[in-house]
Amino acid sequence: MTQPPHEAGATPRQVPPRCYLHPDRETYIACQRCGRPICPDCMHEASVGYQCPNCLRAGQAQVRQARTAGGGLVPGRPGVVSTTLIGINVVAYVLMMATGGLGDSVLWSWGVMLGDTAVFANGESLEVLRGVADGAYWRLLTSAFLHASVLHIAFNMYALYLFGPVLERYLGTVRFVAAYLTSAVAASVFVYVLTPPNVPTLGASGAIFALFGMALVIMFKQGQDVRGLLALVAINVVITFLPGLDISWQGHLGGFVTGLVLGAAFAYAPRARRALVQYAAFGAVWVGIVAVTILRTLQLS
């Protein structure tokens, strides 16, 4: 069987272009950036025409992301970290009270700050609690999420609600989280060194005082009126030393000093070397935390 000859003037049938990411789909739209054909599922609206997914990602990678005054990425939802921290503290308090309360709860026994191993009454029995000096290093952080009373947690969480979102917007999410957790641990280290080793301590006050310290330095650098904040700090210092109130001035002092150090790194670091200075400040604080913890542990051991 022979094929009929082509008619004079006939042209071969044109093959329509196909999406380069989905070869089974015909399309007549091309990416404005690379010129390759793209189907409707691959079309992303640009200032002129459409771009393919690969070109869109490449363009976004070249766009410089906005930074906060403290050098962090601008948070999409400022305040979400503070709200989360408040939620964690509230849940921990409710669980502790629901499982025995202060002194009897398993959560209290596991998480309270305690320098050295000690024996406590738990109901009608005695309980031996291992301290930081015997390897319970987690207490340096977990104690910052436990509270002794409704008034205790209410004051700390209200302060976190007021100052947390403001510092989140200035620092960015990552820097704020790092500063909060670092300050909480540093405050516990002050407690570890300056408090009798068999005295249990708990509360987020150290981290809250760190927020006071950071806010004070940052506001001063920005030329804002800091008299109100100074008055708030002074009132809290007076309350700390009132007779009859079992408040850890050691934790407050540690948090405030750490807040001043980190606040200075955030506020005064030169823009050209801002990240380097801030990383160095965090590194110096953590070197101090580790060194002091080791020395105190050797002393108690």
Give the per-residue pLDDT at 66.
72
List, in sequence order, the alpha helices (H) in 116-246: 139-142, 150-171, 173-194, 205-221, 227-240
Full set of structural domains in the chain with CATH: 80-300 (1.20.1540.10)
Cβ distance 173 to 219 under 8 Å? no
What values do phi and psi take at 115, rounded to 5? -70, -50
Span 265-276, average pLDDT: 91
Query: Does residue 3 surpass a pLDDT of 60?
Result: no
For residue 164, name the pLDDT band (cuts at 50, 70, 90). very high
Span 176-183, average pLDDT: 96
Q: 């205790």: which residue's tokens?
A: 152
Give the per-residue pLDDT at 11.
55
Is this structure's pTM higher than 0.85?
A: no
Pairing between strand 50-51 and 44-45? antiparallel
**90-113 residue pLDDT tens:** 999 999 999 988 888 899 999 999
The residues, ordered by sequence, that sit 6+ positions from 12 with a Cβ below 8 Å of its Cβ are none
For residue 2, name the pLDDT band (cuts at 50, 70, 90). low
